[in-house]
Structure 1
């Protein structure tokens, strides 16, 4: 009976466990060792007799034993489960894209393992030497972890290994020669590791089965070994972004199977080697950003190249006619060289050209008429050459075009009629040529046109009414032509127009009514025309207008009082026929030169309004003046007496200007007294945590921003909060904040760092005088109702400017400077939306060893911007700034605050990552941004994510960030596609004019 009772208890206590086989029990041990936040292993339970139907598990059909375990992208966390080696028939393991956070244990007992993929996890430690003891291992991928150290010597003993990928780790030795002993290798990818400087081992030429060799950004030095020419099966060779020198070895012409060769961004010299005609499979050759010289070999142009990138070298000579005979050539980028002569006139006749950039050379002659023969041409970039003749009429049929830049040449004649109305073109630039004729009415069909830049030509006739149908037009620049007639009424329908520049034409008539509908108009320049009539009052309602030039016309009437509502950086109404009194805001020295040549205007800086009755009432006026003078003298004497009495009575509360100490950092055109006289409440433009900011207009017309701080005793300063108008900093100001700001900004000279003119101090009050930034801070503008002003080109310009400022602090200052409070509110914008980095109250200097000069006793920075490692270690370096800058990038792309109630407990970094995974990029990007910039926006978003990597070592340097942003701004599609974490570089498109038109 007792035995039966015990048996019953055993059965009722473990009825389900006993039904599962031994391999299932091992896998349940694996499940218990993992944190499974997404319930990816919910189907794993002990009710099944075998695990073969569980998620990610595959079994052998005959024996029923587990052969494969694929738990990719399951959000599992925990150590690597060594219990897997008890599954004796297991041949395939993939934990790709999880959170495995241990070292790699000894798994040499997994004797049947063929495929091991642990990429994109959090593995640490060294490479285990026992991996080479796996006799059947063919595939080893450890990409995207934190594995460090050197290669173990045992790695030269792999018996069957075909794929070895260690991309994006922390390996810091050199690439060893014994890797050349793995004769079975087909793919070797060691890209993006911080290796010590080392050469490419010549022994890699022994890997005769190798098909892919990627050694991108591996800190390689020396020359490319000739032995690589023995890799007859190689189809992809990538040695880009290293420090390789010497010439390109001729042995590379023996790689008969190669499809693409990437050698960009090295220091290679000499000419391109002969013999490339043997490479019949070559589709891509990129030797850009080196120091190559000489001509392009004729034989190179006879290949079936899909992409030829040779820019930023020093190629000279002509472009061979044979390049036009390449049947598969769809991308030709050879800009920024010294190529001369004419382009082959049959270029594009055989080749299905899509991207064509020959900018910044010395080409002459006509544009080849067959460029779009195959109807696929998308970009035609030919700026900064000496092309002549007309635009071929055949191009008006090229409906695939979306980007045209023909500026700075010697082209002439009329534009083909339908060329104006190509439906997909968003940029049409014809600046600085000799084009003539009218703007065709077909421009109404240019539904995607955003940038129309045709200045400095000889266009004539009237502007067509159809211009108002180009709904996406954001910039229309047609200055210095011969346009005449009146402005079309339809122009006020362009509600997205930001810049209208028609200076230097022969336009006439009145300014159109309804101009207040141009809500995004930022710049209006109609100078040097023949406009007449009055200035419309409606201009005063254009809230974002900061540049207004109507000079040298025939405008009459009074100056509208509404113009005082505008925040103008440039105002010029000179040389017109305006009359009446100046509006009070403009009747100041600062605007003296804005109204010259209007004899009937009157004010403090112009002639009297009306002199007609002066002689008639001369005596009467003299009497009145005498009475007023006498009364004024009595009043002044009384005021002076009262003031002296009052000053003595309130002496303790007055500011004694004689005690102010001025320290200047630039040549000044003003004194401290001029600043002090303007520190009244009417001039306050912002408040923050440590005082106020004032806008002070000096006697010379220049505006400055004055930050007024104080110490513990508020004697002589107002007890208020500071900093919205100048820097809008929200972080607490420490006792040494003033000193840090003075010491930091006083020695910095950079166009993207806010300029500190001087400091003024007394015992109880401190003033900092900065250059005035009329558009305030990026944070204010981005997160307010004015965010519509920030289109994508403007946002891109801002983030690139700020990156260059921070790069200067990190790399060009000696010693380097860490800002410690990078955020959108500390990025200020000038009148042209140029960005300046500001607020250095918590900045710190880094010593020669790369450490902050003194330890941090508090966390400086702002919520949402603080790097994770800084918050809990108080260790600060340049990587902390880079994380904060990445948050600013995400702000610009998403339009969201760093901490937003809509994120729940997440910050913007976690929200972006989660949303990207679950919904995709379209749900992240600010809906206000024009979709035509989608590709460039995605590139910048990717840069922001890289900058906000949780591990500081994975964040790029600020200098690298600048380069990545510049490359993203080139608007080129990614060159090729690669797997296993291999990135492809971005490319500039526009030669010397990269920044002129986004």
Structure 2
């Protein structure tokens, strides 16, 4: 049987081999080149599944286009491919278009690998992982007109051969690690239409004047390139220029008058520099100009009258400068003006009377100036206004009646002015407003029942006015209300019972009014309440015992009322940072937990209260004698106990003196050394006396953290760093010393509201202490991932993100030299009484040297699992980008409510889980189910910021300054704008010759801007 079967098997095998060979050989040579390229790439999504060797040509394959049966285009953008550059693609003889953008193409790009791409006109390798030097052979490609290598890790200088491109029109090197100077030879590329070099760590240098020779240039984008010196006047001769972006550099001097000659310019971005002098005249000649942003500079003088005569002007941003004078009357004639942001200047005078009457205003922010007069009556006549911010000016008169009909408003902030009169009735019930801030004015009238219509209202801030009347019961319909502050008014009547229904209420401040009646008791819904201030009113009745069940209440002030009865013992359940029941008619015994010097002032002015550990307080003179006898008995017992105690102490003291005498020499060398960084009201011994296990509130690898209540009632947090002493008592743990020195060096010189304050440090032979301000609500991580996470609604989480970002921004941009935290995580973001956030724990922080010295490498990996940037784990390269990645993880924690590492993710961490879940199911499936989806738009925008911060490429992560700006912009809806074809990440770019309005751009214009996880990111957030 076997000898007969063997020849048959051999013959069958031979026939099958011939058949397979015929199938493979049926594919033409270009198809074979493509299959060779595919074999060198990882394709986890099987995106190239239809690249089949059985086809005669590859012309129907995914990503392939042919002409006359020959491959002319290979477009494999955003296919999740990985591996080195497939050089076999250059063997396609007629290949003119090649795009591998938004993949994971890695390794270096050798000059030889591209030399055979002789027909190539369009080469796009952007948003990959390419490293090394830029290929100097690229100018040898005779037909190349488009070259985009942005968003990689190319380093070194721009090769001198780049001056020899024969017909290049687009050169984009944005977001790499290029250094050296921006070369002047780029001015030789006369055919160039777009030059994009932004966000590279170039050495400080000037803008080459030779760029003025690029007469065909339409886009010059050199933001964030470390540029210094003046803006070359010759740039004004680029008559075809449409987009000029010189932002986020160190440019100084004046803005050249010649920029008024840019006849085709659509956008001028000069923000975040050190420019000075006046704005140039003649800008009204720029008929195509739509946006000017010269904010965050040192500009002075007045705003030119003709700037509002630019016919297509829709955005004017000049905030944070030193501008003076009044806002020109021509502002009322700007027919297309959408955004006017002039805050933080020295502007004065009144606003143009017709401002807004003819303009489709969407946002007006004139805060922090010296403006006066009345708010223009027609500021919302077009009905599109969403933001009106006039904080800290000197406005007078009444509020425009039209504001009551301005239903698109979502932010109204008019505090710290001198506005008077009644609030227009409709204004109380604006349907989309989430913050209504009228504090510190002279407004009158009352809160009307119309407030029931303000369904989105989160903050109602009306303190320091002259409001009268009752608080309407309809306020209980504001289910999103978090902060109701109406102190220092003339409100009367009882508290409406409906207040008890406000489940989101976090702060209720009604002090200094004429409110009366009894306190409401149905307050079980106030699970998020942290502050309750009803001081100086006319409330009567008893203190509700239900207050003791509020889980996060830490500020309670009922002083200056007519409350009676006893203090509920349930109040002992609260962890109070501020507590005041003084000046009432309370009686009975003060609960034992308050028998502390810290609370003595809390009960003054209550004659019926007694401070007595026995619990016996006189209630009438009739039984005072019996109580006196009983008290004498108790005193006798106490005297006897005291005698016994004194004898015991005396014996102990004698023994102690013997021990002390024996160790006298050693004791002298063990004294504590205190170094203070602020004026202190305590000594090191007051701290030492409280370092017992009962006061431990946290522990870690480096030691323990204690809560210490000082004699003045103030609480501090004490971090105790141990040294691990060895047997001989002479060696110690160097790591503990390093952590101590790092934290002291870093925090001792920092002064910022979002960085935890270091009061002092105490050094001793065996241990060292760091004394911080005490953060009553602990860490964000502990609260977010506990049963109390419900107190963190979306407005609170958003505020925490902003606070922490501001703290990190200060470290990165305002400290000289910059400080990298290296251990940013939710457990190192602490929360104060109002759930404001502060960055803490600087034990592994490092100072970063100047840019010219490059990033520093550390000998060990610092950080926590789930927060460490991917490149840090294998390069140990320390720079601000590693902090930004970690902060991005914190943002994702705030959005998802999930831990950075969790068993439900399998082998993934939070970043990868979010990315894959969005790809498979959509964004809704990563948002924390405890969050109210009425904030979905804002939550999604913050989610996108977190994804940008956690980009796998460090260069693609925004700076912390940019993160702060993006977070600021989240709280109000931005006008959507399309993304340019070159991929410039700017929220204000306009396509060629298109008419863009707030109504003409939809969600379908959003593009994939960041190779974080191949998701669509809102371009409105990136700039």
TM-score (normalised: structure 2): 0.86
Q: Tell me the distance in 2 between the aligned counterparts of 1:618 and 1:376.
A: 74
Question: Is 1:528 paired with 2:530?
Answer: no
Question: Is 1:186 paired with 2:193?
Answer: yes
Q: Tell me the distance in 1 between the aligned counterparts of 2:209 and 2:875.
A: 44
Q: Tell me the distance in 2 between the aligned counterparts of 1:974 and 1:244.
A: 29
**Is 1:845–1:852's contact at 8 Å kept on the other side of the alignment?**
no
Q: 2:762 aligns with which of 756, 759, 763?
A: 759
Q: 1:474 aligns with which of 457, 462, 482?
A: 482
Shift in alpha-carbon separation, 1:189–1:675, aligned structure 2, 3 A:
closer
TM-aligned CA deviation for residue 277 of structure 1: 2.2
Alignment match, 1:100: 105
Alignment match, 1:990: none
**Is 2:149–2:174's contact at 8 Å kept on the other side of the alignment?**
yes
Question: Is 1:635 paired with 2:644?
Answer: yes
Instruction: Give CA-to-partner distance per residue, 1:457-515, whole Å, 9 cap, x none.
Output: 11101111111111111111111111101111111111111111111100000001202
TM-aligned CA deviation for residue 824 of structure 1: 2.1
Q: 1:695 aligns with which of 693, 701, 707?
A: 707
Q: Tell me the distance in 2 between the aligned counterparts of 1:844 and 1:319.
A: 46
Give the alignment of 1:943-954 within 5 angstroms.
943-951=945-953
User: What number of residue pairs does the alignment pair up?
Assistant: 963
Alignment match, 1:44: 51
Q: Tell me the distance in 2 between the aligned counterparts of 1:832 and 1:793.
A: 12
Alignment match, 1:664: 674
Alignment match, 1:125: 132
**Is 1:559–1:582's contact at 8 Å kept on the other side of the alignment?**
yes
Q: Tell me the distance in 1 between the aligned counterparts of 2:637 and 2:836.
A: 50
Q: Tell me the distance in 1 between the aligned counterparts of 2:589 and 2:51.
A: 86
Alignment match, 2:717: 705
**Is 1:480–1:504's contact at 8 Å kept on the other side of the alignment?**
yes
Give the alignment of 1:915-926 within 5 angstroms.
915-926=917-928
Unaligned runs of 5+ in 1: 716-731, 988-998
**Is 2:589–2:616's contact at 8 Å kept on the other side of the alignment?**
no
Alignment match, 2:500: 492
**Is 1:757–1:771's contact at 8 Å kept on the other side of the alignment?**
no
Q: Tell me the distance in 1 between the aligned counterparts of 2:838 and 2:349.
A: 43
**Is 2:595–2:611's contact at 8 Å kept on the other side of the alignment?**
yes
Question: Is 1:455 paired with 2:460?
Answer: no
The alignment partner of 2:22 has SS state of coil
Q: Tell me the distance in 2 between the aligned counterparts of 1:283 and 1:760.
A: 61
Q: Tell me the distance in 1 between the aligned counterparts of 2:37 and 2:642.
A: 98
Shift in alpha-carbon separation, 1:436–1:183, aligned structure 2, 3 A:
same
**Is 1:845–1:853's contact at 8 Å kept on the other side of the alignment?**
no
Q: Tell me the distance in 2 between the aligned counterparts of 1:308 and 1:181.
A: 34
Q: Tell me the distance in 2 between the aligned counterparts of 1:185 and 1:749.
A: 47
TM-aligned CA deviation for residue 281 of structure 1: 1.7
Alignment match, 1:74: 79
Q: 2:96 aligns with which of 76, 91, 97?
A: 91
The alignment partner of 1:147 has SS state of strand
Shift in alpha-carbon separation, 1:464–1:6, aligned structure 2, 3 A:
closer
**Is 1:693–1:705's contact at 8 Å kept on the other side of the alignment?**
yes
**Is 2:721–2:740's contact at 8 Å kept on the other side of the alignment?**
no
Give the alignment of 1:125-144 within 5 angstroms.
125-144=132-151
**Is 1:143–1:981's contact at 8 Å kept on the other side of the alignment?**
no
Q: 2:217 aligns with which of 189, 210, 215?
A: 210
TM-aligned CA deviation for residue 631 of structure 1: 3.2
**Is 1:745–1:755's contact at 8 Å kept on the other side of the alignment?**
no
TM-aligned CA deviation for residue 598 of structure 1: 0.5
Instruction: Give CA-to-partner distance per residue, 1:929-984, whole Å, 9 cap, x none.
Output: 455655555555455445444455665666x4675467556746278544334233
Alignment match, 1:824: 826
Instruction: Give CA-to-partner distance per residue, 1:661-703, whole Å, 9 cap, x none.
Output: 3222236555565555545554443455566544333333233
**Is 1:741–1:839's contact at 8 Å kept on the other side of the alignment?**
no
TM-aligned CA deviation for residue 317 of structure 1: 1.9
Alignment match, 1:333: 341
TM-aligned CA deviation for residue 378 of structure 1: 1.1
Shift in alpha-carbon separation, 1:746–1:497, aligned structure 2, 3 A:
closer
TM-aligned CA deviation for residue 98 of structure 1: 1.0
Give the alignment of 1:711-726 within 5 angstroms.
none
TM-aligned CA deviation for residue 446 of structure 1: 0.9
TM-aligned CA deviation for residue 452 of structure 1: 0.7
The alignment partner of 2:379 has SS state of coil
The alignment partner of 2:788 has SS state of helix
Instruction: Give CA-to-partner distance per residue, 1:103-129, whole Å, 9 cap, x none.
Output: 334323322222111111112222323
The alignment partner of 2:521 has SS state of coil
Alignment match, 1:440: 448
The alignment partner of 1:227 has SS state of helix
Question: Is 1:275 paired with 2:282?
Answer: yes
Q: Tell me the distance in 1 between the aligned counterparts of 2:230 and 2:761.
A: 52
Q: Tell me the distance in 2 between the aligned counterparts of 1:297 and 1:624.
A: 88
Instruction: Give CA-to-partner distance per residue, 1:706-746, whole Å, 9 cap, x none.
Output: 4556555799xxxxxxxxxxxxxxxx995546754775478
The alignment partner of 1:905 has SS state of coil
Q: Using the TM superposition, name which of 145-154 and 800-809 deviates more.
A: 800-809
Q: Using the TM superposition, name which of 835-844 and 409-418 deviates more.
A: 835-844
Q: 2:322 aligns with which of 314, 318, 329?
A: 314
Q: 2:294 aligns with which of 267, 274, 287?
A: 287
Unaligned runs of 5+ in 2: 1-6, 728-732, 990-1023
Give the alignment of 1:167-182 within 5 angstroms.
167-182=174-189
Instruction: Give CA-to-partner distance per residue, 1:894-946, whole Å, 9 cap, x none.
Output: 32211111221111232233344444544434343455655555555455445
**Is 1:576–1:598's contact at 8 Å kept on the other side of the alignment?**
yes
Give the alignment of 1:426-437 within 5 angstroms.
426-437=434-445
Q: 1:593 aligns with which of 582, 591, 601?
A: 601
